[in-house]
C-alpha cells in the first residue's frame, strides 16, 4: 500500500503576484500616479505632502490582504478600513479617483490577467465600501 501524496496548497494571490517586489512596484506606481494625474487631485489633497507613509501602509495592508505576511495587522491591528477612512469625505468621485490610479497601476504591473481582474474587482468593491458622503 502506498501513502497518498501530499499536494501543495495553491499559491496565494501574493505569491501569484510575485511577492514583495512586485507588490511594492504596484503600490509605488499607484502613488506616483496620484502625484501625477491632474484628474485625481481631489484625493491627492487628502494625503500628506510626503506620500511615503501612506505608501508603506498600503503595501503592508495589501500584503496581508493578498495572503502574504500580515504586516499591517502586526503593526497596527485590525485594518478597520471604513473606520480609518471615515475622517475623510469620500464620495463616488473620490472612489473613482482612487480607482483611476489603481486601475492604471494594475494595468502597468506585470501579472497574470486573471489575478489582475480579480484584484481590480475586489479593490473596486472595497473602494465603494469606503464611500461615506452623498454625491453632490
Contacts of residue 26, Cβ cutoff 8 Å, sequence gap at least 6? 17, 62, 105, 106, 109
pLDDT per residue as tens digits for the range 51-66: 999 999 999 999 999 9
26: in domain: yes
Count of domains for the chain: 1
9: in domain: no
39: in domain: yes
With 70 as the cut, is the pLDDT of residue 136 above it?
no
92: in domain: yes
72: in domain: yes
Neighbours of 90 (CB within 10 A): 23
pLDDT per residue as tens digits for the range 75-112: 999 999 999 999 999 999 999 999 999 999 999 999 99
Q: List the domain range (segments joined by +) for residue 51.
A: 16-129
Nearest to 85 by CA among 61, 117, 112: 61
48: in domain: yes
Q: What is the CATH number of the domain that holds 124?
A: 1.10.490.10
The answer, as to whether pTM is greater than 0.75, is yes
Nearest to 94 by CA among 131, 49, 61: 131
Amino acid at each position: 500500500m502506498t501513502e497518498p501524496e501530499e499536494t501543495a496548497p495553491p499559491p496565494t494571490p501574493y505569491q501569484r503576484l510575485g511577492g514583495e517586489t512586485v507588490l511594492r512596484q504596484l503600490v509605488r506606481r499607484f502613488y506616483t500616479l496620484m502625484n501625477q494625474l491632474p484628474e485625481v487631485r481631489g484625493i491627492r489633497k487628502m494625503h500628506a505632502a510626503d506620500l511615503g507613509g501612506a505608501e508603506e501602509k498600503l503595501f503592508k495592508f495589501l500584503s496581508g490582504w493578498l495572503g502574504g505576511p500580515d504586516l499591517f495587522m502586526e503593526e497596527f491591528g485590525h485594518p478597520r478600513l471604513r473606520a480609518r477612512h471615515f475622517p475623510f469625505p469620500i464620495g463616488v468621485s473620490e472612489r473613482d479617483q482612487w480607482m483611476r490610479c489603481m486601475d492604471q497601476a494594475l494595468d502597468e504591473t506585470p501579472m497574470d490577467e486573471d489575478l489582475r481582474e480579480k484584484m481590480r474587482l475586489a479593490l473596486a468593491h472595497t473602494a465603494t465600501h469606503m464611500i461615506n458622503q452623498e454625491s453632490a
